[in-house]
Structure 1
Amino acid sequence: MTGSQNWHEIKSLVSPAWLYEHLEHPRIAIADCRFALMQPELGQHQYQEAHIPGAYYLDLNQDLSSPVGKHGGRHPLPDPALLVEKLAAMGVNSESPEGPTLVIAYDDSRMAFASRLWWLLRYLGHEQVAVLDGGFAAWKAAGYPISTTPSLAQSGRFIPKLQTDRAVDIEQVKTRKDLPTVSLVDSREPERYRGEKEPIDPIAGHIPGAVNYPWQDVTTEQGYARPIAEQRDRWATLADSEEIIVYCGSGVTACVNLLSLDLAGIPNAKLYPGSWSDWCSYQE
């Protein structure tokens, strides 16, 4: 995306150049979503050390998920009311005379955590959200300014319009996964999909009938989204599905595939938030 890209033409992805050009715009809110699954405190420390000016930190465990239970997976969806409160404190407005706030999310993990926020906002009915292409590393590499100052709480007005049809639960997966018009996508690494290794969950393998589209294939190793034509080609064999259900280990990296499907112009994709960690909790 170019720095001169029109505001209304944004389609789920913006470049560092575009964000830098619009950094002071009053209708932009920036979310730093950096996180490390094995070091839960790391993202907060990284934010304190350096972040994009004006950004607010949202933690995967504390802000973008709810507490773990027996079922529901390792990263259950957050309580909408609590997430809405946090978004409002970032100055996010769902409606205003000037128009809704555009939320820009970034991380340094090939869009894994930024895409979770991107999907959550759309689940809350807020379509004005995009992921920063290349993440924080791309911002730094371009020589754009960084800050160590935490952003002050604001008073936005965010009224959610929950889009429950964007998500499915385990019972819906069971009843729909084998229908000829439905495709079930496993977003994990091929070795985990095949059950050759399972570093996190107690049981290895995948949901019967799922096909494997590893989430890392959406981006380059540097964290830039592959061209739109490649995103379309990647999903070509599933493009005619009436419904695509996407899952991963815990409903986080699957959102990168959902972003890819959106970029490819395939709108009928849904998240199974509990994902494999929920599915296998019933197999023990």
Structure 2
Amino acid sequence: MNYQDLFIFLKVVERGSFVGASALLDLPTSTVSRKVMQLEKEVGYRLMHRSARKLVLTEAGEKFFNRCQPLYNELEHTAVQLNDELADPAGLLRVTAPVSLTNELLGEWFFQFMERFPRIQLDLMLVNRNVDLVEEGVDVAFRIGDIRLQNWISRPLMESTFSLCASEDYLLRRGMPQHPDELYQHTLIVPRRISVWHFDGPNGQKAHIDCTARLKIDELKLAARAAEEGLGIVNLPDYVLTEALEEGRLKRLMPDWRSESREVHLLYQERRYIPGKVRVFIEFIMARFDMLK
């Protein structure tokens, strides 16, 4: 069915004449009449009786109009709502992200996003564990490391590099490790979800240290503070360590060995239509990460 012809038929009935519909649609009256005739030919029924004075719907035309008009009205209403949403997105946006990544990097961007889109309410779930995204009703998630989720689109944001660090006080007391295997003789401060440390050596060697922690901790910034206090060695993302390294409160160890990095991802549900609030959030965050590169 030609839906443009159907639309013209509905407007003819609503306006009560071909002339009225012609003025509304900015089409010649002859074109409006021809389109209605084409629709009648397509559906196989005469839809209206034409006379010089007025239009009268046939029984088939009346039933056809009564069925189709609510559908078209709903379609127009939906189109207006969608246009409004795209122009000025609104609604509740539920986002989950790791605590330290938010504190050190994402938090300021979240605040800027709220200023840019005042009709969007942001519901932040900051946790250092992988929550059930569907059960929690999450729209957008930030995750670090390997992603194994079906029906979710994963967009890489950045490579999170790590540094092995300790305080000057700790190194004076315990010595400077030169090889990953020597870490077994040291006191380690270990994030709860990163209990195995991976290193790449200068000649392609690889080392994997299954950490025995004196302090196991779920918040990375607090782990860095513990290392600054001389309580042990940490292997943490550089976005957590930047200030402490620049100010000399921590020192990088084993420069010939590189800690394995982890990818930061942005996730959202795979679907045909992405809600406006989700779309603008993704675009906003991706643009901020692009500026870091």
Q: TM-score, normalised by structure 2?
A: 0.23
Q: TM-score, normalised by structure 1?
A: 0.23
